[in-house]
Chains A and B, each alone.
Chain A
């Protein structure tokens, strides 16, 4: 497989993965809906998005999430701490998704397998977080109604 073929196949596989996993990220957001937007604020979610976009290593993303969990723990916000811990687990598990995806992409020789896996993992995390933020900001009809009622 030439490098160009590899890149095209990789792009298509990632797009398919992203579309498939949008529902999973939405389930995560819905599963923590009670914390949004007051306990987990939009600013925190945008902060997560910025970190994920700019991180050069997955460890940087994990460090940010761990820091958020520790801050919540110090403030005795157990539910918020739980959110960040759940997210750390969810994003960590995407490494095995990256591994599975890589197996379907026989990449050209001369590439470092670990580097390729690390980059792919970060890319999948970026897409998952994109879905997560979009769905977190997107209110369910019931909550929308109750919000209107509160006004």
Chain B
């Protein structure tokens, strides 16, 4: 294996570790959002839909556009627009860019797109927790 390939693998390993560490920190915050979301009329397919979108898209903007549209369409203000939950979530997800920036800075990487890719990964991690907590709390609520 060439020196360059070894460095590439080392970077990937360091990156995965940094993302995993940061991801663990999102558990509590995601749980709080899930607690708020169960107080809306949203069902688990809608929250799962957001998680699925995040895991399949290659753009952070697709995730925030999806949420913005649903906030805008929620005329009854009993789903994504209830008590500003959707708006707070957009702000939260956009704010994960700062975490991505720190991770990339610590790795001293020059790839100009890496920060964006890490940001997308962090959004996926956050929404994975959110969907899991939401489903759990929803099931508890319906029991």
Contacts and interface: CB of A to CB of B under 8 A. Distances in A.
A137 interface: yes
Interface size, B (range):
10 to 19
Contact of B65 (A11, A12, A130): A130
A131 B61 CA distance: 8
Nearest to B65: A134
Contacts of B113: 12, 16
Contacts of A137: 68-69, 71-73
A42 B60 CA distance: 24
Contacts of A42: 72
Contact of B68 (A15, A127, A135): A135
Contact of A134 (B58, B69, B116): B69
A45 to B, nearest CB: 10
Interface string B55-69: 000111110111011
B87 interface: yes
Contact of A16 (B68, B90, B116): B116
B64 A22 contact: yes
Contacts of B72: 42, 134, 136-139
B60 A138 contact: no
Interface residues of A, number: 19
Contacts of A110: none
Contacts of A130: 65
Please classify the interface of chain A as helix (H, G, I), strand (E, B), loop, or mixed, using the class held by over half of its residues: helix
A133 interface: yes
A81 interface: no
A19 B68 contact: no
Nearest to B73: A137
19 contacts: A12-B58, A15-B59, A15-B116, A16-B112, A22-B61, A22-B64, A22-B65, A127-B61, A131-B61, A134-B64, A134-B65, A134-B68, A135-B65, A135-B68, A137-B69, A137-B72, A138-B68, A138-B87, A139-B72
A16 B62 CA distance: 12
Contacts of A133: 69
B44 to A, nearest CB: 23
Contacts of B73: 137
